[in-house]
Amino acid sequence: MVKRVIIAGAGIVGVSTGIWLRRMSDMDVTIIDRLAPGEGTSHGNAGVLASCSVAPVTAPGLVRKAPKMVMNPDFPLFMRWGYFPRLVPWLLKYLRNANDTDTRRIAQGLEVIVGDSVDQHKSLVAGTNMEDWVMESDYSFAYADRAAFEADAYTWGLRKAAGFEPVLREGDAVREYEPNLSPSIGLLASMQDHGFIRDPGGYVKALAGEFEALGGTILRAEIKDVELTGEHISAFLTDQGRMECDSAVLATGVWSKPLMKKLGIDVPLETERGYHIVFKDATGGPASPIMVASGKFVATPMAAGLRCAGIVEFGGLDAGPNDAALALLRKFTKAAFPDLEYSEEIEWLGHRPAPSDSLPLIGQVRDTGIYTAFGHHHIGLTGGPKTGRLTAGLVAGKPANTDLSPFNPMRFG
């Protein structure tokens, strides 16, 4: 009898898991999502394959700095104060990791998921007509001067420990490398052997087409509940009816939290609201992705134009976009690229799934046959294919020779 697997979530993680499961096995694999593939957070990211992104936000000193950050109108951190009481339990757990020991532990875990991102994306699209979706490039960090770069020494130390060291350019060399940058930027730290996706949403849709070509099925439905027979999954209950399965994967980002709660696990998971603006048909932007350190945003050249993505906002799932956040992103963009011209703007707000310890949940929930693959915070696109491959191996009984204990979902059990 063919084993039936349902993957909840049609983002980069869910679709990658589906592709690898079909490649590894003859299982009957169905992806279910309330949206079409690639229309959630997998669409709205900065598009960078940021292999060096091993440093969590919770670095030492965050507890001391956070109040000034949130009260500074020119810092890209926003709080919906009406939501703050609901945020407090998660926030306290989150801030407990803002120390050297936990930061280094988290960085070592993240390296497993993101360190070989470009290779993982290439493996995912190998032998398909999607190989040209994966662009190889530098990934640069822009600073006002060397002092500003050196102020980030702790983070760069974590990257160096993971094997990533930048090429530094200063003065005229900055403009020779990237002519459209503002004269106010005096130093670029460029990471080689990185990459980006020129249309993340389109990429995930194309991957979904590959999954279907491999014999997989995609259904539009909203999952309401999990049905267990004894301690093992037997079905998902959806707004389209009951859907039976022998195993399941939860890859629904921040929306995985209520499903986990039905399994008796209250995951400390919050939405970190993120924004982007696409400056359509842009000229005067960068030739490759740049993180502008002063504004904590990434500018990436994409098929539709220049996408500038960033801003951290805590405000739950239901509130609408924050005009002040979008205005600040425009301000930072104009300051970094003063000659930017474009035909129109396209705004977006999405929800990054942020576990309190900044590590994704990858593994089986007890012996339920339910596997988790969510909680990627800022590294969803970067780490999606690796997570999908690892998760598919677990479901197919072909686990990789990789220590997944840092990602065990039962750490919150």
CB 38 within 8 A of CB 54: no
The amino acid present at 156, given as its one-letter code, is W
Q: Domain 54-195+269-355 class? A: alpha beta
CB 192 within 8 A of CB 167: yes
pLDDT tier for residue 67 given thresholds of 50, 70 and 90: confident
For the chain, domain boundaries: 4-43+202-266+357-412, 54-195+269-355
**Type and span of the H or E element at 233:** strand 232-238
**Helix-, strand-, coil-residue percentages of the chain, each rounded to 5:** 35, 30, 35
CA distance 308 to 376: 20
Residues 384-403: pLDDT tens digits?
A: 999 999 999 999 999 999 99
DSSP 166: P
Residues 106-152: pLDDT tens digits?
A: 999 999 999 999 999 999 999 999 999 999 999 999 999 999 999 99
* Topology agreement, domain 4-43+202-266+357-412 and domain 54-195+269-355: no
Give helix 200-213 / helix 12-24 axis angle, nearest 10°: 20
Residue 2 has pLDDT above 90, yes or no: no
Mean pLDDT over residues 259-266, rounded? 96
Residue 1 has pLDDT above 80, yes or no: no
Mean pLDDT of the chain: 96
Rounded to two decimals, the pTM is 0.97
Mean pLDDT over residues 313-331, rounded? 96
How many Cβ atoms are within 10 Å of 321's Cβ, its own excluded?
A: 13
Residue 256 has pLDDT above 90, yes or no: yes
Cα dihedral 307/117/357/36 (nearest 10): 60
Report the alpha-carbon angle 255-253-135, nearest 5.
Answer: 150
Residue 73 has pLDDT above 90, yes or no: no
Share of the chain above pLDDT 70, in %: 100
pLDDT number for residue 413: 86
Residue 161, C-beta contacts closer than 8 angstroms, at least 6 positions apart: 104, 107
Superfamily of domain 4-43+202-266+357-412: FAD/NAD(P)-binding domain (3.50.50.60)
Residue 213 has pLDDT above 80, yes or no: yes
